[in-house]
Amino acid sequence: MSGKGATGSGTPKKRVVVMISGRGSNLSALISATMAPDYPCRIVAVLSDNPDAAGLDLAREYAIEADAFLANDFSNRAAHEQAIQARLDQIRPDIICLAGYMRLLSADFVNRWHGMIVNIHPSLLPSFPGLDTHKRALDHQVRIHGCSVHFVTEGMDEGPLIAQAAVPVAPDDTEASLSARVLAAEHQLYPMALRLLAEEKVRMSGTGESVFSRLSGGDDSLVISPISAAS
Ligand code: GRF
């Protein structure tokens, strides 16, 4: 399991479940962050809708519980989600991180974990929700692109923002070069945003807004901007 049960100061670490569908590079960044003794979270399980997700093997390498729930094994979407829900009810996480989890969660699911689910999305929301974000950014000739960590609500990629990282778009960028630059930013941003949530410096209000508190003047973890085109 990643990270011991408490920080050096004795504060219990928040229990995090990461939900993935694929390669798990953000999961890897989160696991690395949790290795620091003072990081306020530990990853207690990784759940996937895809048994072949590379991130499951990564989790097992770190002795993190890794379970797959294949949608085809269930009669419908609700039954699939109920199985995941039942597992989460056993695990009792404090925070659920979606990291490339490719299914839209139902209102019931999202409401059950109100303010406890966060997602990373590869664009500067509210621009480019959904898929193919890098292609759409290039098509629109935006000069600044990036990624966002936000609370998860019922609408796709619509929840209140926690933190964002901006990257420049170079004139000769391809989808591959731009997505690699954004991904590097994601790997910095997600651990920072998760720390804010775990340290209770941000929460989602009952009316669905991000509420920040106890941010020090020098706290620059809400925005990373801009990460060099050379990086
Ligand atoms: C990332 O680009 C993330 O922003 C998006 O899905 C991708 C997952 O990549 N939601 P990985 O599995 O973390 O490598």
Give the closest residue (by CA) to ligand 1 atom 10.
100
Q: Which two tokens stand for residue 67?
A: 């379970």
* CA 222 to each of CA 164, 193, 218: distance values in angstroms, whole numbers, following the listed order: 6, 7, 11
Q: How confident is the model at residue 231 (pLDDT cuts 50, 70, 90)?
A: very low
Sorted by where each begins, the domain ranges of the chain are 14-224
Q: How confident is the model at residue 230 (pLDDT cuts 50, 70, 90)?
A: very low
Annotate 36-51 with b (16+ C-beta within 10 A) or e (fewer): eeebbbbbbbbbbbbe
Nearest ligand 1 atom, CA 120? 4
Pocket-forming residues, ligand 1, beta carbon under 6 Å: 20, 22-26, 99-100, 120-122, 147, 183, 186
121 is catalytic: yes
Q: How confident is the model at residue 217 (pLDDT cuts 50, 70, 90)?
A: low
| pLDDT tens digits along 159-195 | 999 999 999 999 999 999 999 999 999 999 999 999 9
pLDDT of 95 > 60? The answer is yes
| pLDDT tens digits along 132-141 | 999 999 999 9
**What's the confidence (pLDDT) of residue 177?**
98
**What's the confidence (pLDDT) of residue 221?**
60
The catalytic position among 80, 114, 121, 150 is: 121
The residue written with tokens 């390498």 in the block is 61
Please state which CATH number belongs to domain 14-224. Answer: 3.40.50.170
Mean pLDDT of 69-96: 97
Ligand 1: distance of its center to the CA of 100 in Å? 4
